[in-house]
Homo-oligomer: A and B are copies of this chain.
C-alpha cells in the first residue's frame, strides 16, 4: 500500500489529528519503494502489512444482515487477522444466529481462518459481566444491553483474550469484499505510521454511491457526515481559536484502535459510536480537563484519517436510520464536557430541527465504562465456562 504522509495535523493537548491521507496503490508488493531520500509518500510492502495483521483482530458486529454479505466480508479479511463476530441477530422465531454459525462453520472449513463467534445476548455472558463487576453493559433485568456499542465491547474483550494489540471494526453490510480487504490494510497502514501506542485509525470513504433515476451517482458525502464533521470541526475551532476542516470521519463506519487506547475509552450506545470516539479522545487527552491517564498524555494520541480507493457500496438503511444517526452525533457533541457554551447553543438549535421532543440525552445514550477495570483472567475463565454461544473455528483455543 502506498499513501500520503499526513499533510497537516491539528493538535489538541496530547491529541494529534492528522488530515485525510490519500492512497495511491492498494498493493505495493515487495517493491523496493522510492529511491530518493525526499519522501512524501509512505510505502508499506507486504511483509510490513502482514506483521501488523498478525496482531490485529477484526470485529464484525452482526444484526440480521444477509448471510451472503457476511460471507463476502469474511472472504475479504486477510488470513492473518483474527476474526471476531459478535452477533445480535434474532434467535426466534427463526434462529438467525444458528444460521450464521452454520454458514461461518461451512466457510471456515474452506477458508482455514481463525474465527471467534459469540451471541451478544448470551445469558451466560451476562452472568460473567455481573461477576467481574462490569455493570454498565447490563440492563435492568440483568441481561446484556441491546446496542451496537455493547457488541463492540464484547468484541474488544475477546480480542484482549487472544492478546491482540489492535482491533478494527468492519460492518457486515458491505457488498464489496475487495473494499473490506482495503479497510483492513488501511488499519494496518495507520498503525504502522503511528509513533505512539495510542492510535485511532478512521476510514474515509472516497465515494458513497447513491442511486438516482436508475443511475449510480458517485456522491462524496452523506448529509449526516457533512453535518457531524462541520460540528466536530467547529468544536475544535471554538477551543483552539483557529478554524479548521481537518475532521472528515466523524461518522466513519470503519475504524480501528490500538488496544491500550481502546481499553480506556467510553462508548455510548446507539448510532453515536464513531462520533463518541472522537469526543472521548478529546475529553480524555485534549488537555482541557485533567486527564486520568497521565501515561497516555505523555506519549500522545494519534488519529489517522485515510481515504479509501474503493467506493462504499452498502445496504441502504433508509431515512429514519439517518435521522437517528444525526441526532446521536449532534447529541454526543452537545453532551461533551468540553463543548463551549456558544457551541452548545448552535447544537441545540440543530437538534431542535431533528426532533421536536425534549430528550434527556445522557439517559438516551447510555454510557459504557472503560474495559480496563475488568479482571481479564476471571472474565476469560467465566466466558469459557458459561457462554454457550462462544464458538471457536479454525484450531483456535
Given A2-B112, A30-B80, A80-B29: A72 and B309 interface contact (C-beta under 8 Å): yes
- Other-chain contact of A112, B43, B72, B78, B176 (Cβ < 8 Å): B43
Question: Are B214 and A2 neighbours in the complex by a CB distance under 8 Å?
Answer: no
Question: Are A112 and B182 neighbours in the complex by a CB distance under 8 Å?
Answer: no
A27 touches B (CB below 8 Å): yes
**0/1 string, A288-326, CB within 8 A of B gives 1:** 000000000000000000000111010000000000000
Question: Are B50 and A30 neighbours in the complex by a CB distance under 8 Å?
Answer: yes
Q: Report the nearest B residue to A185, measured CB to CB.
A: B27
* A41 CB contacts on chain B under 8 angstroms: 110, 112
A33 touches B (CB below 8 Å): yes
Task: Flag the segment in A18-26, A93-101, A150-158, A364-372 that touches B.
Answer: A18-26
**0/1 string, A70-104, CB within 8 A of B gives 1:** 00100111111000000000000000000000000
* A43 CB contacts on chain B under 8 angstroms: 112
Question: Are A2 and B181 neighbours in the complex by a CB distance under 8 Å?
Answer: no
**0/1 string, A165-195, CB within 8 A of B gives 1:** 0000000000111110110000000000000
A104-122 with Cβ < 8 A to chain B? 107, 110-113
A395 to B368, CA, bound (A): 55
**0/1 string, A49-81, CB within 8 A of B gives 1:** 010010000000000000000001001111110
* A25 CB contacts on chain B under 8 angstroms: 75, 79, 111-113
* A373 CB contacts on chain B under 8 angstroms: none
A213-230 with Cβ < 8 A to chain B? 213-216, 218
How many copies of this chain does one complex carry? 2
A340 touches B (CB below 8 Å): no
Additional A-B contacts beyond A26-B75, A27-B76, A175-B209 (9; CB < 8 A): A25-B79, A25-B113, A28-B78, A41-B110, A41-B112, A72-B309, A76-B178, A176-B178, A178-B178
Given A111-B24, A179-B176, A179-B178: A79 and B313 interface contact (C-beta under 8 Å): no
- Other-chain contact of A53, B29, B72, B77, B179 (Cβ < 8 Å): B29
A72 to B110, CA, bound (A): 31
Question: Are B78 and A27 neighbours in the complex by a CB distance under 8 Å?
Answer: yes
* A112 CB contacts on chain B under 8 angstroms: 2, 25, 31, 33-34, 41, 43
Q: Report the nearest B residue to A22, measured CB to CB.
A: B110
Sampled A-B contacts (6; CB under 8 Å): A2-B110, A31-B79, A46-B46, A177-B182, A178-B310, A211-B211
* A218 CB contacts on chain B under 8 angstroms: 175
- Other-chain contact of A26, B34, B53, B177 (Cβ < 8 Å): B177
Question: Are B79 and A28 neighbours in the complex by a CB distance under 8 Å?
Answer: yes
Question: Are B76 and A309 neighbours in the complex by a CB distance under 8 Å?
Answer: yes
